[in-house]
């Protein structure tokens, strides 16, 4: 293993370069080498100053995240992060951080243990540990308030969002931001004989303890709203507040205690699982090299089609947009223009950038014109098998050889669509989630004939669109919708058996789901859900009840939010209110069918809906319709509002214990029949 820290001399300045691909994460080897190199420099009379930088495009991406599950499991001793930082900070000669790219987590903490920080304009500084269920554990909660003040430090450590270089300069974290090479600037600065300014000795940015406490109260309310149920944000707030109250070493002790507490918790194990699951999902073993995608086309300019066109434009890929109805095309383009104008107004991008992206989206007069030059074509027309087959037949005639022909369908059969072409090997599903420019998840659905090269091209394309792709088999509903159906079916069944809609939904939102299963039905629309259920029955999906109360809602004109009532009544701001009329209809429906009514506890509601969800996931794994259990976790965290701090449905089920879940499924099977037949995966 080449040495993790390279040394070079620039006159009497020693330049240390951390080289630990791919992102210079801090492993124990790197930290040992780094601290030793700084201490050698301290003792070397020929060295007057030290510059510390990272090889490649990042300074340091933080501590090596893969260490944490091993430390938490007791497989390796805890890493004395803070001591390594102190050894750098205690160097009697000036140590200057030269930062490019990411200085995140332990990376920013290392930079703050240096005496000065010089960054490139493209650098970013952040403490994203809370996104992993942790808090800064290498002194960040004590040094950051000494550089940027308690309020800014509390904000950065409790929400985890990074600052760009200009913001970090303004906050007092960076001392200089340069357009050129930060290493060169750091060496020049080192030659001016800067002071040895230990961050721990800076006191003037710290506020009084009582002021820190009142700030902490404000941030606690903020994180309760924005990150409900999560423990790390509050621990981060408490650790930063300690910096205003305690001497530095005692502040470090407070940080260490709070860090250890988070590391031992379920939530950090779950969030770290999701971090690696996202990256594993995008990799599929054994696929050939992808074909390049230089130009794209989208067929259908409705909400999804226009949103998908925006994804291409945002990724710098020119895209033709076509719709059979010129008015729909005009409406689609107008909607896109409005989105970019809003982004400019919010300061998310400048006029010029918005214009460049808008320019990349070109309206096409005809489908053939749209498809003619495209390397990848995404169909996003109405969810009707006939219409889709017709579009694919035309695409087959118009598209270039080797072009990727993707459908955005959410529940139709990929093989049936592919059969409308003479090139089924180029056809697959690219199932985006609404709103496409925002939701990161894309299910890449292979049909029986889909060629590996087409799948590889779709995965690479999804990555270029800054999406998180997950490979799925062509079963009904692929991964997400297939599992969401029995989960919602259980919620409807509980309502039919006496449960109150708002209690059913509250049981799941109180558990961490972004929305209750019945409220989701109102959001998507009961006409859409009825179509999905009908398609499920047509495809012979087992264990889907032939009828359910929810199927009555469209007939009763209760389509959900779009018609002002569904399971709930909606006021003009679409806020849901319990609806006595709905309860009357529900109880009448049950009485007419002799459905026994019973009381339901929160635990029972959670158990039936969540076990229905994970048992379907287990069936998907039995059938090989997902590559790995963690892919299912990625789908639910990024597409269905499943709480990331529970790791995703399959991680959560495994944390309960597969044997325990199996026993509960068998008990429900005995009590309630074959719907609960446990998948083989549990054994």
Spell 276-291 as b/e; 16+ CB within 10 A means b: ebbeebbebeebeebb
Q: Name the residue nearer to ligand T1G (CB basis): 35 or 306.
A: 35
Q: Is 174 in the site for ligand T1G (CB under 6 A)?
A: no
Give the tokens for residue 653.
């089920």
Min dist CB 132 to ligand T1G, Å, is: 6
Q: Which of 25, 125, 130, 309 binds ligand T1G (CB under 6 A)?
A: 25
Q: Name the residue nearer to ligand T1G (CB basis): 40 or 466.
A: 466
Q: Which of 38, 63, 239, 632 binds ligand T1G (CB under 6 A)?
A: 63
**Strands 568-570 and 124-126, bridge-based pairing:** unpaired
Which range binds ligand T1G by CB under 6 A, 57-65, 427-435, 539-547, 564-572?
57-65
| Phi then psi dihedrals of residue 49, to 5 deg | -155, 160
Closest CA to 42 of 115, 138, 104, 111: 115
Catalytic residue among 7, 75, 109, 217: 109
Min dist CB 74 to ligand T1G, Å, is: 18
Residue 370 and residue 80: Cα distance in Å, rounded?
59
Closest CA to 584 of 562, 559, 606, 552: 552
> Which residues pair with residue 176 across a beta bridge?
118
Q: Which of 13, 18, 41, 61 binds ligand T1G (CB under 6 A)?
A: 61
Residues between 233 and 292 with contacts to ligand T1G, criterion CB under 6 A: 279
Let me know how long the chain is. 683
Min dist CB 156 to ligand T1G, Å, is: 12
Q: Name the residue nearer to ligand T1G (CB basis): 286 or 624.
A: 286
Residues between 120 and 159 with contacts to ligand T1G, criterion CB under 6 A: 128-129, 132, 134, 136-138, 140
Closest CA to 108 of 48, 151, 148, 150: 148
Min dist CB 394 to ligand T1G, Å, is: 37
Q: Is 109 in the site for ligand T1G (CB under 6 A)?
A: yes
Residues that contact ligand T1G, how many (by CB under 6 A):
25
| Phi then psi dihedrals of residue 234, to 5 deg | -65, -40
Residue 364 and residue 421: Cα distance in Å, rounded?
22
Q: Is 106 in the site for ligand T1G (CB under 6 A)?
A: yes
Closest CA to 648 of 455, 470, 521, 475: 470
Min dist CB 57 to ligand T1G, Å, is: 7
Min dist CB 61 to ligand T1G, Å, is: 3
Q: Name the residue nearer to ligand T1G (CB basis): 113 or 405.
A: 113
Q: Which of 18, 23, 157, 553 binds ligand T1G (CB under 6 A)?
A: 23
Q: Name the residue nearer to ligand T1G (CB basis): 560 or 647.
A: 647
Min dist CB 271 to ligand T1G, Å, is: 10
**What ranges in 436-539 are assigned the alpha helix state H?**
452-464, 480-496, 501-509, 517-524, 526-538
Q: Name the residue nearer to ligand T1G (CB basis): 56 or 172.
A: 56
Q: Name the residue nearer to ligand T1G (CB basis): 81 or 567.
A: 81
Residues between 487 and 516 with contacts to ligand T1G, criterion CB under 6 A: none
Q: Which of 65, 148, 458, 468 binds ligand T1G (CB under 6 A)?
A: 65
Catalytic residue among 129, 155, 550, 627: 129
The reply to whether 129 belongs to the active site is yes
Q: Is 450 in the site for ligand T1G (CB under 6 A)?
A: no
Which range binds ligand T1G by CB under 6 A, 99-107, 182-190, 293-301, 337-345?
99-107
Rounded alpha-carbon distances, angstroms, from residue 250 to 149, 245, 257, 371: 18, 9, 11, 66
Q: Name the residue nearer to ligand T1G (CB basis): 64 or 375.
A: 64
* Three-class HEC string of 600-659: CCHHHHHHHHHHHHHHHHHHHHHCCCECCHHHHHHHHHHHCCCCHHHCCHHHHHHHHCHH
Min dist CB 563 to ligand T1G, Å, is: 42
Q: Is 105 in the site for ligand T1G (CB under 6 A)?
A: yes
Residue 312 and residue 324: Cα distance in Å, rounded?
21
Question: Cα Rg for the chain, rounded, in angstroms?
Answer: 28
Starting at the edge strand found earlier in the chain, the sheet holding 124-126 runs 102-104, 124-126, 163-164
> Which residues pair with residue 376 across a beta bridge?
296, 404
Residue 683 and residue 680: Cα distance in Å, rounded?
6
The reply to whether 425 belongs to the active site is no
Min dist CB 160 to ligand T1G, Å, is: 8
Which range binds ligand T1G by CB under 6 A, 61-69, 221-229, 236-244, 424-432?
61-69
Q: Name the residue nearer to ligand T1G (CB basis): 108 or 313.
A: 108
Give the tokens for residue 545.
């009840």
Q: Which of 33, 37, 97, 102 binds ligand T1G (CB under 6 A)?
A: 102
Q: Name the residue nearer to ligand T1G (CB basis): 358 or 439.
A: 439
Min dist CB 170 to ligand T1G, Å, is: 21
Q: 201: buried, middle or exposed (CB in 10 Å: 19+, 13-18, 0-12)?
A: exposed
Contacts of residue 321, Cβ cutoff 8 Å, sequence gap at least 6: 297, 298, 301, 305, 306, 309, 329, 332, 333, 361, 362, 363, 364, 370
Give the tokens for residue 171.
């906050």
In the block, which residue shows the tokens 């990555």? 463
Interface residue list for ligand T1G (CB under 6 A):
22-23, 25, 58, 61-66, 81, 102, 104-106, 109, 128-129, 132, 134, 136-138, 140, 279
Catalytic residue positions, numbered:
109, 129
């Amino acid at each position: 293993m080449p040495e993790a820290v390279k040394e070079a001399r620039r006159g009497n300045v020693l330049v240390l370069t951390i080289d630990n691909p791919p992102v210079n994460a801090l492993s124990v080897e790197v930290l040992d080498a780094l601290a030793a190199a700084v201490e050698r420099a301290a003792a070397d009379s020929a060295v007057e100053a030290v510059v510390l930088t990272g090889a490649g495009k990042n300074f340091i991406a933080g501590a090596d995240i893969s260490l944490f599950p091993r430390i938490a499991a007791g497989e390796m001793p805890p890493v004395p992060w803070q001591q390594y930082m102190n050894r750098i900070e205690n160097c009697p000669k000036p140590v200057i951080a030269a930062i490019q790219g990411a200085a995140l987590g332990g990376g920013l903490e290392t930079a703050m243990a240096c005496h000065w920080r010089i960054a490139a304009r493209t650098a970013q500084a952040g403490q994203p540990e809370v996104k992993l269920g942790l808090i800064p554990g290498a002194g960040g909660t004590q040094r950051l308030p000494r550089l940027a003040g308690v309020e800014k430090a509390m904000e950065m450590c409790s929400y985890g969002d990074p600052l760009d270089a200009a913001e970090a300069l303004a906050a007092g974290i960076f001392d200089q931001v340069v357009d050129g090479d930060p290493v060169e600037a750091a060496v020049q600065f080192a030659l001016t004989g800067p002071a040895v300014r230990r961050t721990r000795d800076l006191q003037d940015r710290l506020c009084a303890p009582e002021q820190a406490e009142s700030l902490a109260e404000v941030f606690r309310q903020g994180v309760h709203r924005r990150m409900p149920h999560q423990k790390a944000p509050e621990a981060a707030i408490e650790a930063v507040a300690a910096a205003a109250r305690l001497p530095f070493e005692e502040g470090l002790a407070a940080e260490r205690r709070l860090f250890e507490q988070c590391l031992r918790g379920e939530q950090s194990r779950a969030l770290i699982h999701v971090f690696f699951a996202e990256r594993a999902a995008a990799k599929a073993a054994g696929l050939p090299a992808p074909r390049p995608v230089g130009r794209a086309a989208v067929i259908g300019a409705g909400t999804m089609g226009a949103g998908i066109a925006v994804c291409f434009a945002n990724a710098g890929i020119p895209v033709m947009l076509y719709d059979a109805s010129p008015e729909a095309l005009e409406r689609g383009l107008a909607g896109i223009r409005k989105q970019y104008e809003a982004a400019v107004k919010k300061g998310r991008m400048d006029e010029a950038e918005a214009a460049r992206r808008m320019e990349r989206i070109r309206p096409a007069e005809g489908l053939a014109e749209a498809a003619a030059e495209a390397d990848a074509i995404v169909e996003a027309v109405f969810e009707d098998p006939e219409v889709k087959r017709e579009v694919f037949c035309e695409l087959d005639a118009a598209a270039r050889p080797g072009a990727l022909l993707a459908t955005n369908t959410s529940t139709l059969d990929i093989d049936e669509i592919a059969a409308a072409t003479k090139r089924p090997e180029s056809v697959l599903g690219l199932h985006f989630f609404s709103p496409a420019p925002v939701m990161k998840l894309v299910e890449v659905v292979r049909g029986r004939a889909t060629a590996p090269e087409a799948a590889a091209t779709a995965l690479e394309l999804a990555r270029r669109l800054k999406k998180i792709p997950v490979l799925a088999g062509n079963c009904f509903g692929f991964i997400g919708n297939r599992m969401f159906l029995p989960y919602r079916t259980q919620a409807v069944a509980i309502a039919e058996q006496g449960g109150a809609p708002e209690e059913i939904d509250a049981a799941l939102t109180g558990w961490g789901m972004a929305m209750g299963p019945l409220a989701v039905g109102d959001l998507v629309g009961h006409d859409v859900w009825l179509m999905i259920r009908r398609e499920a029955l047509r495809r012979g999906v087992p264990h889907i009840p032939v009828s359910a109360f929810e199927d009555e809602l469209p007939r009763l004109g209760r389509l959900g939010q779009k018609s002002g009532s569904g399971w709930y009544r909606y006021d003009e701001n679409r806020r849901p209110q319990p609806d006595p009329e709905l309860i009357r209809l529900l109880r009448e429906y049950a009485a007419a069918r002799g459905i026994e009514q019973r009381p339901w506890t929160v635990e029972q509601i959670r158990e039936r809906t969540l076990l229905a969800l994970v048992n379907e996931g287990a069936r998907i794994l039995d059938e090989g319709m997902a590559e790995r259990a963690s892919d299912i976790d990625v789908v639910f965290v990024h597409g269905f509002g499943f709480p990331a701090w529970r790791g995703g449905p399959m991680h959560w089920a495994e944390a309960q214990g597969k044997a325990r879940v199996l026993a509960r499924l068998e008990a429900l099977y005995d009590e309630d029949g074959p719907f609960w037949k446990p998948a083989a995966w549990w054994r």
